[in-house]
């Protein structure tokens, strides 16, 4: 009785409290504010998912690549053993690895410049078109971008089919001096690496040029027109205007678009998987497909595949570092 009196005085007209004081929610709120943990709490769900489903698997790939992880280890029939660099050693002496790496490098070397050139040209065109026409062309182009990779790949295989495909039909109609002719009738585009990757390149350019074009257009809109005016007054033609004005000003944009294209095109999977007809033709594998088939074709060799995956990841990470540096330098993190 005596003890409660001063409390009542201090509490004044407050409603009677339970012995624990303020509710759990209120106390938690105070704790959050006092220790400034609010941002960390907000980040927690995303961080947990990314950690469990992206970061941890990456670590696992690294671990598996030093183990003899196979079907027996997957089902627990025999224990996982560390094998040191044996998987990497095997890769280095594997002609199929070098072939797949070569195909990845060469196809990216064809896809990236073509995508950038086509995308930039369309972007420059969009900047010169009237408002309505530009909106129409860019919407149509973005439809190609939004077309699912699986659909796009199946469509391109159909366009290139030897029986009834419209590409072979078109090539037979092209005059001889342009490389067309009757010998294109029934030409198979998927049975050898060079034509298959030519088709894949056409497909990748079709899918990804709209994004480049829209980005270039957005960049062009930031250049003050006075720059073009003065260049033209000085007698510069369109070619010179591009290389002397547009390109230097938009260099950071082109740099980022280039790095992004390299990352995407070096790791292209779905399109090639469908064009070469799933995992049938081993001499048409690129690095990603070779790694995937090593993991998921019987007998599965998860350890060896992880070593391949690790090589692929490291190559892409090296390019990513350049991309991140370019982004940070341009203030993307602000």
Partner 1 sequence: MTIVSVPRPRSWRRSRSSRPRSLRPRSWRRLARRAGLNLVGLLVALVTLFPIFWMVSTAFKPATEWYTLSPHPLPSHPTLANFRAVIDGSVIGLPYWNFLKNSLFVTLVAVVASSLIALLAAIAVARFRFRFRTTYLIMLLIVQMLPQQALVIALFIDFRSWNLLDSLIGLILVYTTFALPVTIWMLRNFVAAVPRELEEAAAIDGAGPMRVFWRILLPLVSPGLVATSVFAFIFAYNEFIFALTFLGTDTAKFTLPIYVQYFYGRNGADWGAIMAASTLFTIPALAFFLLVRHRLSAGLVAGAVKG
Report 200-219 residues binding partner 1 (CB under 8 A).
206, 210-211, 214-215, 218-219
Residue 245: left if φ>0, alpha if ψ -120 to 50, beta else—which one? Answer: alpha
Site map 247..266 versus partner 1, x via CB under 8 A: --xxxxx--xx--x--xx--
The angle at the Cα of 308, spanning 74 to 69, to the nearest 5 degrees, equals: 20
Q: Under rule CB under 8 A, which residues in 269-298 are in contact with partner 1?
A: 269-270, 273-274, 278, 288-289, 291-292, 295-296
* Residue 145, C-beta contacts closer than 8 angstroms, at least 6 positions apart: 207, 208, 210, 211
Residue 83 in the binding site for partner 1 (CB under 8 A): no
Residue 233 in the binding site for partner 1 (CB under 8 A): yes
Binding segment toward partner 1, per CB under 8 A, in 3-11, 105-113, 125-133, 188-196: 125-133
The angle at the Cα of 149, spanning 146 to 155, to the nearest 5 degrees, equals: 100
Residue 142 in the binding site for partner 1 (CB under 8 A): yes
Residue 85 in the binding site for partner 1 (CB under 8 A): no
CA distance 87 to 291: 12
Binding segment toward partner 1, per CB under 8 A, in 8-16, 36-44, 84-92, 106-114: 36-44
CA distance 316 to 61: 15
Residue 80 in the binding site for partner 1 (CB under 8 A): no
The 3-class SS string of 243-290 reads: HHHHHHHHHHHHHHHHHHHHHHHHCCCHHHHHHCCCCCCHHHCCHHHH
Binding segment toward partner 1, per CB under 8 A, in 5-13, 46-54, 83-91, 193-201: 46-54
Binding segment toward partner 1, per CB under 8 A, in 8-16, 106-114, 192-200, 302-310: 302-310
């Amino acid at each position: 009785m005596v003890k409660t009196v001063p409390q009542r005085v201090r509490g004044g007209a407050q409603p009677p409290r339970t012995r624990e004081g303020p509710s759990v929610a209120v106390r938690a709120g105070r704790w959050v504010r006092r220790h400034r943990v609010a941002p960390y709490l907000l980040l927690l769900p995303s961080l947990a998912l990314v950690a469990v489903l992206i970061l941890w698997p990456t670590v696992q790939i690294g671990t598996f690549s030093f183990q003899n992880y196979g079907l027996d280890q997957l089902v627990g029939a025999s224990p996982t053993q560390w094998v040191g660099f044996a998987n990497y050693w095997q890769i280095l002496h594997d002609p199929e690895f070098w072939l797949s790496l070569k195909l990845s490098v060469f196809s990216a070397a064809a896809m990236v410049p073509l995508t950038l050139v086509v995308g930039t040209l369309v972007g420059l065109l969009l900047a010169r078109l009237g408002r309505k026409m530009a909106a129409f062309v860019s919407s149509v182009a973005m439809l190609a971008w939004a077309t699912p990779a699986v659909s796009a790949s199946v469509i391109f295989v159909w366009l290139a089919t030897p029986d009834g495909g419209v590409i072979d039909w078109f090539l037979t109609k092209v005059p001889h001096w342009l490389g067309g002719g009757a010998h294109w009738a029934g030409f198979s585009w998927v049975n050898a690496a060079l034509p298959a990757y030519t088709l894949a390149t056409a497909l990748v350019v079709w899918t990804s040029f709209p994004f480049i074009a829209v980005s270039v257009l957005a960049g062009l809109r930031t250049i003050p027109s006075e720059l073009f005016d003065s260049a033209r007054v000085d007698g510069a033609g369109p070619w010179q205007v591009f290389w002397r004005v547009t390109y230097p000003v938009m260099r950071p944009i082109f740099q980022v678009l280039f790095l992004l294209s390299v990352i995407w095109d070096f790791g292209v999977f779905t399109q090639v998987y469908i064009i070469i007809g799933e995992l049938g033709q081993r001499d048409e594998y690129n690095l990603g497909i070779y790694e995937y088939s090593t993991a998921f074709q019987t007998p599965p060799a998860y350890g060896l595949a992880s070593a391949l995956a690790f090589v692929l990841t490291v190559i892409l990470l090296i390019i990513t570092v350049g991309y991140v540096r370019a982004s940070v330098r341009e203030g993307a993190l602000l």
